[in-house]
Amino acid sequence: MNIKFKLIGSFIGLALLALSIGTVALYDSYSTASLEQTRNHLQVITKLADFDNLTSEKIPDGLIVRKQLFDGSIIDLINPSLINLPPYLSDDTDTIEINEISYVWSSTPLNKNSERIIILSPLVHQDLESFISQYGAEISIFTFIIIWSTLWAALVVNSLISKVNAQKILLESQRQQALDESKAKSLFLAHISHEIRTPLSAVIGYSETLLHSDQPMTERLGFINTIIRNGNHILNLVNDLLDLSKIEANKLEVESININLISLLQDIEKLFHQQCKSKGIEFKIQYHFPLVETIISDPVRLKQILINLCSNAIKFTKSGYIYLDVQKSSDNKLQFMIEDSGIGMTDEQLSRIFSAYTQANSSTTRKFGGTGLGLSLSKHLANMLGGDIDVCSQSGRGSTFTLTINAGDLANSKMINHISEHTNPETMTDTISTHRHLSGKVLLAEDNQDNQNLFSIYLNKCGLEPDIAHNGQQAVEFVLNNDYDLIFMDMQMPIMDGIEATSSLRKKGFSTPIVALTANAMKEDMDQFYGAGCDEFLTKPLKRDKLLATCAKYLTTVDDRVIVEPIVSTILQDEPDLIDIINRFCEKLPEMTKTLHTLHAQGDYDELARQAHDLKGVSGNMGYMEINQLAGRLEFQIANKDNKEISYLLKKLESLQKRIALGLEQERA
């Protein structure tokens, strides 16, 4: 408000100053006109008579005439008693006030003796009506100018005041927005702290509990699965934060590759089916045929969006259903609708759900958890995939989120009319078995000892014994002195980092495949890795299947069936007389293996676990530690209900039987 009053005062002052200047100018014009009139009077008097014989009768009414002689004496010709002139008046034209009357006067030389005549004309003697008639036009124009200037100034002031008020409102709005964002981010930090600390507490707590050896197998497996689940939750949270940061920095990029649509949706169904079943919720994918079999998009980002939307639906649905509908909406658009029977939202809540760092309200966060990143991130990703996310909801009656994406050029895509027409492509994890034995010399350059141990365990599973380098410089020295088939190079290490080490090896002419290990997955990081000479990269936290699949890509595969070395009981080495007992066990072993296969096919996990436990004990007593260890692994996987691993171990048990039979033949011979 102070700015407003100052501006008004300034323009009023300017208007008054303009008025004053105009008045002075007008007065000067009036005075000049009066002086000109006096000069005219002087000319009239000069024409009337000689100055020496000038009398009062010859002087026009209202004029004062003074005659100043060469000796300085003064003769005033009219009303001498009223005249109070100074003793000397200059030759310059001027005005003078006599008895409160203003006179304009002029002096003219009378003769060569320095005598002169002085004539004074009173301004007030000029009639006002005459003045107005003479200067009325000027006054009207000046008055118009003053009024127009005042109005213009008022408009300018009003415009400036409006702009100042608008700026003030904008600044206030920005200030409030900044305060709201600051408050939202403060709440977000509190939520993110809770979201990280809660699963981290479970990871630490259950890990410490596993140090005790008195838990039964099923309980230990439950603890392990809890640790994995909470660890994945933290990983997903960190990934969301990094993705949002990339989006805000305009550095997130998406791919455009072929995606088998049905396979992707089946992965989603596998991911959420058991979770919904345990919660008593129906989860169903509804296909609206005909559908294209293959679309062009980013499979990672599309799956990320669908997982976020389905996870949200499960989180806010206590009972009822969650349906995922998919249909082709136009020539190159694909539509996914996620409908739930959950708690729903109000219109006010709907207006904020796509804002980063916020949820529907604070009570939602307290009751259901979460960071408020999922929907904001999903909407950004949907836009990047050429689509959007819309939502409709009613409080207490559920919500429907509609995801639309650009599916690419579908002109030549195969259309299917039933799920049975779907061709399921083999994935990397299907075609590359993690149970294969690989042959080759491997170097692992990693400075973190825990990671060294973990990655070594992964590599040992497929028969590899890596050399360990603790920094880039040591890795270069190892390569200079050894022939390696594959190098895993961490990018951030002391003394010399992985980028410098890789670049140094390439400059020295080494062409050994180098796989970067890194937690930095930004595009500029990848460009830097490839620029240094890396063949590919794996991101941390490292998945065992991806590590082994990468090894299989560069190393030679050795099938387990090739290994046919005989197995001899350790007991027979010390007690050869027990050969009959060992023979009876070996004769029963094929039947025991067949029983295990049958129980697994029937899904009788309780009996299967009991039989595996018995086999573990008996085989150990018989001196066959290979079977003892395999049966222990089998018992663990039965409790974990990992059917794929159970099948593999049962097949391996069959190959061990053949090697045991060869060992018995050697003993008999």
Q: Would you list the domain boundaries of the chain?
A: 2-126, 259-353+373-425, 430-558, 570-668
Q: What is the pLDDT of residue 126?
A: 44
- Least confident range of 177-181, 324-328, 377-381, 460-464: 177-181
Specify the range with the lowest mean pLDDT, choosing from 147-156, 376-385, 625-634. 147-156
Please state the pTM of the whole predicted model. Answer: 0.56
pLDDT in tens, 78-94: 554 445 555 555 555 55
What are the C-alpha distances in Å from 373 to residues 52, 367, 400?
112, 17, 19
If you count DSSP H runs as helices and E runs as strands, how many of each does the chain have, helices first?
A: 19, 21
Strands (E), 320-367: 320-330, 333-340
pLDDT digits (tens, 9 = 90+) for 566-580: 888 888 777 777 888
Least confident residue range of 286-295, 418-427, 520-529: 418-427
Q: Give the integer Cα–Cα distance in Å for 560 and 653.
A: 12
Q: How far apart are CA 502 and CA 667, in angstroms?
A: 53
| CATH superfamily label, 430-558 | Response regulator (3.40.50.2300)
pLDDT exceeding 70 applies to what percent of the chain? 68
Q: pLDDT tens, 30-41?
A: 555 555 555 565
Residue-level length of the chain: 669
pLDDT at 438 over 80: yes
Residue in 561, 551, 570, 668 with CA at minimum distance from that of residue 619 = 570
Asked if the bond preceding 290 is cis, omega within 30° of 0, the reply is: yes
pLDDT above 70 (res 105): no
Q: What is the largest CA-CA distance in the chain?
A: 181
**For residue 531, is pLDDT > 50?**
yes
- Strand ranges inside 356-440, DSSP E: 388-393, 399-406, 415-416, 437-439
pLDDT digits over 61-73, tens only?
666 777 766 666 6
Domain 259-353+373-425, CATH 3.40.50.720 — does that match? Answer: no
Residue pLDDT, tens place only, 247-262: 777 777 888 889 999 9
Residue 432's pLDDT band (cuts 50, 70, 90): very low
Other Cβ atoms less than 10 A from the Cβ of 499: the count is: 22
At residue 89's C-alpha, the angle toward residues 86 and 92, to 5°, is: 150
Four-residue CA torsion sign, 327, 333, 334, 335: negative
Cβ neighbours, 10 Å, residue 179 = 10
Give residue 592's identity as a one-letter amino acid code.
M
Query: Residue 261 class from Cβ within 10 Å (0-12 exposed, 13-18 middle, 19+ buried)?
Result: buried
Please give the mean pLDDT across all residues of the chain.
78
Q: Which residue has the higher pLDDT, 276 or 557?
A: 276
Closest CA to 570 of 660, 649, 669, 463: 660
Read off the tokens for 571.
């007991």
| 432-443: average pLDDT | 73
Give 210-226 pLDDT, tens digit per residue.
Answer: 887 677 777 888 888 88
Q: What integer pLDDT is reported at residue 175 of this predicted model?
A: 82
Q: What is the mean pLDDT of residues 579-589?
A: 87
Which is the CATH superfamily of the domain at 570-668?
A: HPT domain (1.20.120.160)
| pLDDT tier for residue 129 given thresholds of 50, 70 and 90 | very low
* Topology of the domain comprising 2-126: Beta-Lactamase (3.30.450)
What does the pLDDT read at residue 99? 64
b/e per residue 576-605 (b: at least 16 CB within 10 A):
eeeeeebeebbeebeebbeebbebbeeeeb
Interval 167-172 mean pLDDT: 84
In the structure encoding, which two tokens stand for residue 336, read together? Answer: 């996914």
Q: Flag whether pLDDT at 420 surpasses 60.
A: yes
pLDDT score recorded for residue 122 = 66
The torsion of the CA quartet 491, 373, 384, 247, rounded to 10 degrees, works out to -50
Omega of the bond leading into 494 within 30 degrees of 0 (cis): no
pLDDT tens column, 476-488: 999 999 999 999 9
